[in-house]
A = this chain, B = another copy of it.
Amino acid sequence: MTPRGRPRSFDRDAVLQQAMRMFWERGYESTSLADLTSATGLKPPSLYAAFGSKEGLFREAVELYTRTDGALTGTALDGGPTAREAVGRMLRENACGYTEDGRPPGCMIVLAATTCAAENESVRQLLADTRADTLRSIRARLERGVADGDLPAGTDTGQLADFYGTVLFGLSIRARDGASREALLRVADSAMHAWDALTGGTGPAAPDD
């Protein structure tokens, strides 16, 4: 099963990672083909042979992001023993991820295409859909909390997920504005202070970590 023809002379994954970083930093429309080719050393035809189009490259970059930096949300949600701990971890770990040295501040999914030209609406929609996935993930974790008994049976998981998701999205704006990790962690902590009031206050007490 050896591939025929001239072999590719570059590392496709490495190029994709570089592209992801640029889209993350500057957004979809503000990252030009010239930016991408000069950063990777590739000529346009090589990029197009490998990824099809700028949008195709971006879509793969989004997939890579959700598999790597963006996966933090899912793993944090899965990590906590209770819904409360899971959501708290999710916010705090993202607050840390959004302010990691050497990475663009904030989340690529939130920041890379909040507005765009009509011709790129499909790109904005892709990110909107991905954000909707995040809200569903949070909600799914809350449902599990209800099933596990650490959340009351009548809990409005949709409303709760919408609230914590909205806070999460807001953290990206604040991170891109230069907010410190500590400031974002305080916001996460503040959001968790609503937990008892939102869940009827009948759950277990807040852990200290």
Binding site for B on A (CB under 8 A): 25-27, 29-30, 32, 110-112, 114-118, 120, 128, 131-132, 159-160, 162-163, 165-171, 173-174, 176-179, 183, 186-187, 190-191, 193-194, 196-198
Contact = CB atoms under 8 A, between A and B. Distances in A.
Nearest to A193: B197
Which label, helix, strand, loop or mixed, suits the secondary structure of the A interface?
A: helix
A132 B194 contact: no
A198 B171 CA distance: 18
A186 B196 CA distance: 16
Contacts of A110: 114, 173
What is the count of identical protomers in the complex? 2
Contacts of A32: 117
A117 B30 contact: yes
Nearest to A104: B115
